[in-house]
């Protein structure tokens, strides 16, 4: 892990918070302080230096990383969330990464996404112990399922302890499996908590569409004021998911895009396929702009780069 970012008029500092059930390394390695083995839930913050002359979607390197207690994290997040505005405007954003992602990758992406969309509240990420290997797909599936109770605990702690008026959750790829199940459980056990989830964004979700429709969607309807699905026909990891699992993932549009009551379905095929190694949800300016609009509370009909497809879903236009 690099040292603290140098002060410079050419750089902005992005402060992001984390929860992780990765075990720390005795000696920091290429991926930083945390490796791929599972461990107990830990908390902390990272400062990332971002060039002010910034190429949209290009991730930067983290600087200072600090471990925090749960109480310290929530106090810091509450203070940062309040900077987005006064009472009624305090906001936190939580990112849960997907398959084949290391801890530092998740930190980079959270800082990059937060900076690029001009987010003013408290950005956080949850990093579960992905093997960070293209060859360990099945094992990563086991890891995200084992991490679900801790993801649920972390989300609950942030929703309550951050004192945010609005919480936005962005889950990507295989990370959606743990996230949506955790939220579905919270919506039944503590509906007053999930009522604060203002937006749920599922980016290239690697969960079977049938499972989502029958087991998850009915319980999520009571939760998020806005739920958004980004899907693509060209996400290579979801092609692997189809081969391994024998069914199309929710984020795969090759058999048509899934639509649900209370959810905006967006076909992002034209936006590219390179976010966190296998899809567009971070390196596409068009997609980042759309995510930023969701965070700001702008409905699809007021986002001119979206148009209605023949199936009634939205299509993300590139270059508009």
DSSP symbols for 180-240:
HHHHHHHHHH-HHHHTTEEEEEEES--SBHHHIIIIIHHHHTTT-SEEEEEEBS--HHHHH
Q: What sign has the CA pseudo-torsion 120, 290, 112, 140?
A: positive
Cβ 317 vs Cβ 309: under 8 Å: no
Cβ 138 vs Cβ 63: under 8 Å: no
Cβ-proximal residues to 86 (8 Å cutoff; 6+ apart), any chain: none
pLDDT in the model for residue 273: 41
pLDDT in the model for residue 9: 65
CA–CA separation, 225 vs 196, rounded Å?
Answer: 9
Count Cβ atoms within 10 A of the Cβ of residue 143 and give its class: 0-12 exposed, 13-18 middle, 19 or more buried: buried
CB-CB neighbours of 211 under 10 Å: 17
Alpha carbon separation from 175 to 99, 161, 180, 181, 201 (Å, rounded): 7, 23, 9, 10, 12
Domains of the chain: 69-316 (3.40.50.1820)
Q: What sign has the CA pseudo-torsion 263, 160, 48, 63?
A: negative
Alpha helices in the chain (DSSP H): 70-82, 103-116, 137-161, 175-189, 191-194, 209-211, 217-220, 236-245, 285-296
Q: pLDDT tens string for the chain (320 positions)?
A: 444 455 466 677 789 999 999 999 988 776 678 999 999 999 999 998 766 665 555 555 556 889 999 999 999 999 999 987 777 789 999 999 999 888 988 988 898 889 889 999 999 999 999 998 888 999 999 999 999 999 999 999 999 999 999 999 999 999 999 999 999 999 999 999 999 999 999 999 999 998 999 999 988 877 777 899 999 988 888 888 999 998 999 999 998 999 998 899 999 988 754 453 444 445 678 888 999 999 999 999 999 999 999 888 999 988 76
Q: What sign has the CA pseudo-torsion 227, 118, 116, 72?
A: negative
pTM summary value: 0.91
CA–CA separation, 138 vs 118, rounded Å?
Answer: 36
pLDDT in the model for residue 97: 95
CA–CA separation, 32 vs 29, rounded Å?
Answer: 5
């Amino acid at each position: 892990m690099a040292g603290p970012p140098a002060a410079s008029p050419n750089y902005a500092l992005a402060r992001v918070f984390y929860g992780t059930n990765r075990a720390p390394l005795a000696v920091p390695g290429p991926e930083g302080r945390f490796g791929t083995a599972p461990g107990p839930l830990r908390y902390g913050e990272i400062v990332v230096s971002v060039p002010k002359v910034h190429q949209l979607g290009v991730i930067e390197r983290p600087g200072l990383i600090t471990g925090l207690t749960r109480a310290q994290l929530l106090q810091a997040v509450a203070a940062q969330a309040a900077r987005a505005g006064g009472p009624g405007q305090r906001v936190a954003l939580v990112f849960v990464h997907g398959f084949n992602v290391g801890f530092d990758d998740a930190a980079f992406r959270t800082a990059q996404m937060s900076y690029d969309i001009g987010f003013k509240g408290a950005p956080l990420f949850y990093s579960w112990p992905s093997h960070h290997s293209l060859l360990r797909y099945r094992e990563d599936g086991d890891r995200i399922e084992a991490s679900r109770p801790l993801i649920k605990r972390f989300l609950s702690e942030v929703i309550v302890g951050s004192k945010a008026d609005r919480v936005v959750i962005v889950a990507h790829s295989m990370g959606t499996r743990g996230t949506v199940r955790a939220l579905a459980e919270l919506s039944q056990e503590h509906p007053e908590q999930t009522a604060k989830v203002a937006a749920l964004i599922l980016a290239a979700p690697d969960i079977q569409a049938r499972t989502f429709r029958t087991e998850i969607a009915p319980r999520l309807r009571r939760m998020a004021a806005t739920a958004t699905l980004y899907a693509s026909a060209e996400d290579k990891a979801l092609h692997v998911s189809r081969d391994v699992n024998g069914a199309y993932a929710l984020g795969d549009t090759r058999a048509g895009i899934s639509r649900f009551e209370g959810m905006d379905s967006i076909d992002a095929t034209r936006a590219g396929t390179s976010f966190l190694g296998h899809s567009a949800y971070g390196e596409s300016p068009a997609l980042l702009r759309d995510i930023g609009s969701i965070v700001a509370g702008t409905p699809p009909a007021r986002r001119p780069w979206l148009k209605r497809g023949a199936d009634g879903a939205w299509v993300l236009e590139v270059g508009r």
